[in-house]
Amino acid sequence: MDRHVIRDSRRSRGGFTWKETLAVVVVIGVLLALLVQGILIARESARLGFCKNNLKQIGLAIHNYA
């Protein structure tokens, strides 16, 4: 009987299985990929706004010079 008790206690120990760990890694990877993509889109938008502002300033400078 003691052997059955020892075996049962070994089976019920805490911790994560490799499937659970893999699932967590996959979810974190997907979230990081979405975050990086969002950051890149935000940077591109900021660059576009900066260029538009520069062109507007050049146009206003030319208009005021004339």
40-54 per-position pLDDT tens digit: 999 999 999 999 999
- 30 Cβ contact list (under 8 Å, min separation 6): none
- 16 Cβ contact list (under 8 Å, min separation 6): 24
Distance from C-alpha of 9 to C-alpha of 1, rounded to nearest angstrom: 13
Strand positions, DSSP E, 1-66: none
56-65 per-position pLDDT tens digit: 999 999 999 9
HSE-CB of 22 using CA atoms within 13 angstroms? 3
Given a cut of 80, is residue 21 above it in pLDDT?
yes
Give this prediction's pTM. 0.58
Region of 13 please: left (phi>0), alpha (psi -120 to 50) or beta: beta
| Residue extents of the structural domains in the chain | 36-66
